[in-house]
Copies of this chain bind each other. A is one copy, B any other.
Amino acid sequence: MELGKTAYVILGMLRTRPHTGYEIKAIVDHSTRFFWAASYGQIYPELKRLEEAGLVEGDAEPQGGRRRRAFSLTAEGRRELEDWLASGEPLHSELRHEGLLRFFFADAVSTEDQLDLVRDMREMHERARDEMRAIRPKAEEARSERAEQFPLRTLDFGLAYQDFIIDWCARMEREIQDSGGS
């Protein structure tokens, strides 16, 4: 069974308890989004496919007149998730960074424009760091209440990653100022 990565995001989110598509989106948005995002346009069709494949099961749980389907893993779904987690398949990773792309070509612009670019990059990563900090209490909760170690570790990776880039930007700001003069 060849599943897309988004399918595994969904299976993974259902590993502890059932969730609606809406909830999955919300959980993704303050956890995996920093290294793997998902939109409604992916989640709902994917849930349908996973159900047809017998990997998840949708249980109708209407709240008043509001329809609501909470999905849970089937035995096969759990097996599929664990197989993927334990499989040694090559781990694809990519960084897509418009700031770095501009930085690469920055010989073509003035020292002022170079500095503006690096400052913008730093500010962007500072905002990302702040968002992650705001989320951290939830991940700590998951650790203490459900004994899950890895979501918090992953978030702390994200925090360290943002700090790494912020520091690099600060270094570049100094380097450009020193070499470019004014």
Using a CB–CB distance below 8 Å, which chain A residues touch chain B?
A: 5, 8-9, 12, 15, 31-32, 34-37, 81-82, 84-86, 88, 90-110, 113, 116-117, 120-121, 124-125, 147-151, 153-154, 157, 160-161, 164, 168, 172, 175, 179
Contact = CB atoms under 8 A, between A and B. Distances in A.
Q: How many copies does the complex hold?
A: 2
Please provide the 10 A-B residue pairs with the shortest distance between their CB atoms, ordered closest to farther: A91-B99, A12-B105, A93-B97, A35-B100, A35-B97, A104-B154, A106-B150, A86-B113, A91-B98, A36-B101
Given A153-B172, A168-B157, A15 B108 contact: yes
Contact of A109 (B86, B96, B160): B86
Contacts of A168: 157, 160
A151 B102 CA distance: 10
Contact of A151 (B5, B84, B85, B104): B104
B105 A85 contact: yes
Contacts of A31: 104
14 contacts: A12-B104, A15-B105, A32-B104, A35-B97, A35-B101, A81-B105, A85-B117, A91-B97, A91-B124, A92-B98, A93-B95, A94-B96, A160-B168, A161-B164
Contacts of A92: 96, 98
Contacts of A97: 35-36, 91, 93-94
Contacts of A103: 150, 153-154, 157
Contacts of A121: 91
A87 to B, nearest CB: 9
Given A91-B121, A150-B107, A179-B149, A85 B98 contact: no
Interface centre among A32, A147, A157, A164 (most CB of B within 10 A): A157
